[in-house]
Each structure stands twice: as C-alpha cells, then as structure tokens.
Amino acid sequence: MDYSAQIQEAQKKFGEVLTEQLKRVEKMKAEKDFIDYKSLDKIVIGVVGGDGIGPAITAQAERILKYLLKDEMARGKVEFKEITGCTIEHRAEVGKALPDDVTEELKQCHVILKGPTTTPRQGDPWPNIESANVAMRKELDLFANVRPVRVPEEGIDWTFYRENTEGGYAVGSKGINVTDDLAIDFVVQTHEGTERIARAAFEYAKKAGKTRVTCVTKANVIKTTDGNFLSVCKEVAKDYPDIELDDWYIDIMTAKLVDPKRRTQFQVLVLPNLYGDILTDEAAEFQGGVGTAGSANIGKRYAMFEAIHGSAPRMVQEGRDIYADPCSIIRASVMLLEHIGYADKAKALEEALDICMYKEKKLTITGRDTGATSAEFADYVMSKL
C-alpha cells in the first residue's frame, strides 16, 4: 500500500498544530504578571449560567454573592454582568465552543462565575464541538485549575494544581485520522506552561504554610512530555528550599488516595491536565462527590470559578431543576471571593456552607421534591452568615 498522500496530509495538519503551539509559547513568554485586584477601580464579575441545571444553581450562588458584596456594589467597586449566550443551543447554532459574542463579553470581566455547560460527544444530537470549559480555559489562558478537597475528620486536606491548558487538552479536538485504521492525538507540554503551574503550586504551598508538593505524572512511560513536566517541577522546587517535592506516578497515586494511612500525607499536588481531571474526581468523592467541590481556573489576567459537576439535562426535562444542588457553585463562589481579595467574606461563606452541608444539616437536597429547593438552601446558607 502507498500511504504517501495520507502521510503528507497528516504532516500538513501536524505542521499547523506546531505553528499554533509555538505561537502560544511566544505569547506565554511575553505574558505580564498577575492582575492586582486591589488596584482596580471596579471589579467586574461575569455570571455565566450555562446549560441544564446551570442557570438555576448559578442564580442562587449569585444571590449569595450579591448579599455579601452589597456595600461594594453600592460603592461601585464591584459590578455583576450577566452573560446569557453560553448555552449548548447557541453554541451548536454558531458551531463554536465559545461563540464570539460570548468571548467578547467574557473579556469585559475580571472574574467569571460559571455554571456547568454541556460537552457534546460523538453520537449526541449536538454537533461534536469542543467543550466550552476547555475553550474558555484556553481563550482566557486560565492555566491553573485549583481544586481543594477537605475532610477534616479524616485528616484530608489536599489542594490540586492541575495544569489546565496543555497536555491532551491543548489540541484535543485536532487529532488526526491518518487512515481509516490509524488515528493520532497530540499531547502538548511546554517549558513555560509547566513552569507557571509549578510556580503557582509552590507559591500557594509557601503562603499556606505547607511543607510538601507532590508531582504526579507517568514519566516512566510517557517519557518526553511527562518527563519534562517532572524535571521542570524539580527545577522550580529549587527556589523553595523549605518545601519538599516528591514525585509519584498516576497509577499508584490513584491507589494511595484510597489508603487511609498514606493519603493524609499529601498536601499540594501538581499534575498535567488529564491526570488532574481524573484524580480530582476521585479525590472529591471522599468529600461527598463532585457535587460538593468547587473549582478555580486561574490565569494572570482572568479567572473563572465553576461547579465541577455536569449540567444534568434530565433534571430540567423532568422539571426538577429547582431542586438541583447548588453546593458546588457556592464552593466556587468562596474561591472567587478569596481570589479577588475578600478573604473574610470567603471564610464566612465557607463556614456557613460547612454548617449547612456537614454540621447542622437542617435541610437536605435530594434533587427532587422530597428535599429542599436550591433557593431554600441558599436562604439557609445566608441565614448563617
């Protein structure tokens, strides 16, 4: 068989991927430092409801944020901006993961609170466009996906720093079907990309008084990209002599998270995109599932805070969206407040949420009319502030 035409076509596509990624490297090199929210006259918080149960739960988190920030809003220091176009219907209609009008509106904000958005896959009624999450992370260069998991009574206190713009996700929708039998996807790792996530993890560890950062890869097998990820982490670690860096492989790490003796030793974990995606779902399960966890996507100019669960379209079809659990998006709101410099309000909200979810538990959310509505739960949280 002569495959030269197919190989040439694939090489052309590969060349395009390389050009695009090298441009990205140049952009990272030219990047400015983190934005300073204190120096801003006004902080604009964008609110993206998303799909399915998204608008219902996001509205409740927004209500709580507005309650906590009412003085700042009155003074003009904080402004909310609703962004309504990030729905699967609109994305499908324009055939883009992030419609241009949505991108433009996002860029008028400093931080974004985001509900879940539907990610189409092969066989869905929707066109198989890229995930809106992934597109937003790339478009706004939100390179650090920060996911805390805490179960105090079991000694679990983990903060995951998942690299958010590279790995298998960087060009996840641009793999190549070379022939009917051969398909190739790409995994991207850059020096700049790894350095900034490693530094973010170590800086956090230093500020939070942590003593260990754990790098998770599969560098024994994926020798180039994971190998480089690990060696850049080791380089960065030299700037933090008081913090120990240890290195684990993803397979044994998924096992050790289940080991009650070992797991309490992990503190801050830094890892490539896909391992971070998988491990943070496992980790959140100890805390009560992904529905209980918040997620911050942080870049130097923008940051986005989201619920980490899906959009649950069936709940909407069955008219149950008013009973959807707002805990994950409220956790995300805690991280948002902390990020823009309102640490006291963040702490107050976190404590109120802990009382409602774990300590007092006067209301329960069951996802149907046997439990509280999202609005009732939000009222309950606000009554504890």
For ligand IPM, the binding residues (CB under 6 A) are: 119, 131, 133-134, 277, 308
Single out the segment in contact with Mg ion by CB under 5 A; choices: 120-128, 269-277, 313-321, 375-383. Answer: 269-277
CB of 128 to Mg ion, least distance (A): 18
Show the tokens assigned to 175.
């793999």
CB of 221 to ligand IPM, least distance (A): 21
* Other Cβ atoms closer than 10 A to 93: 12
CB of 283 to Mg ion, least distance (A): 11
Nearest to 58 by CA among 329, 314, 350: 329
Which of 166, 277, 321, 338 contacts Mg ion by CB under 5 A? 277
DSSP-derived letter for residue 188 is B
Residue with tokens 């996840």: 172
Interaction between residue 325 and Mg ion (CB under 5 A): no
CB of 355 to ligand IPM, least distance (A): 27
Q: Which is nearer to ligand IPM, 109 or 129 (CB)?
A: 129
CB of 46 to ligand IPM, least distance (A): 18
- Edge-first strand listing for the sheet containing 294-298: 78-83, 43-48, 111-114, 303-307, 294-298, 144-151, 156-163, 268-271, 212-217, 244-249
Give, rounded to a whole angstrom, the gap between the first and last alpha carbons of the chain. 71
Q: Rounded to an integer, what distance in angstroms lies between the CA atom of residue 311 and that of residue 120? A: 11
Q: Which is nearer to ligand IPM, 219 or 308 (CB)?
A: 308
Q: Which is nearer to ligand IPM, 134 or 335 (CB)?
A: 134
CB of 187 to ligand IPM, least distance (A): 15
Taking every pair of Cα atoms in the chain, the longest distance, rounded to a whole number of angstroms, is 72
Q: Which is nearer to ligand IPM, 272 or 381 (CB)?
A: 272
Contact status, residue 248 vs residue 304, Cβ threshold 8 Å? no
By rule CB under 5 A, what count of residues binds Mg ion?
1
Interaction between residue 321 and Mg ion (CB under 5 A): no
Q: Which is nearer to Mg ion, 277 or 338 (CB)?
A: 277
Contact status, residue 315 vs residue 321, Cβ threshold 8 Å? yes
Contact of residue 134 among Mg ion, ligand IPM, none (CB under 5-8 Å per partner type): ligand IPM
Q: Which is nearer to ligand IPM, 131 or 190 (CB)?
A: 131
**Alpha-carbon distances of 198 from 15, 25, 147, 236, 302, rounded to whole Å:** 28, 16, 15, 7, 19
CB of 189 to ligand IPM, least distance (A): 17
**Alpha-carbon distances of 193 from 28, 35, 326, rounded to whole Å:** 8, 18, 33
Contact status, residue 265 vs residue 212, Cβ threshold 8 Å? yes
Contact of residue 102 among ligand IPM, Mg ion, none (CB under 5-8 Å per partner type): none
Q: Which is nearer to ligand IPM, 117 or 373 (CB)?
A: 117
Residues near Mg ion (CB under 5 A) are 277
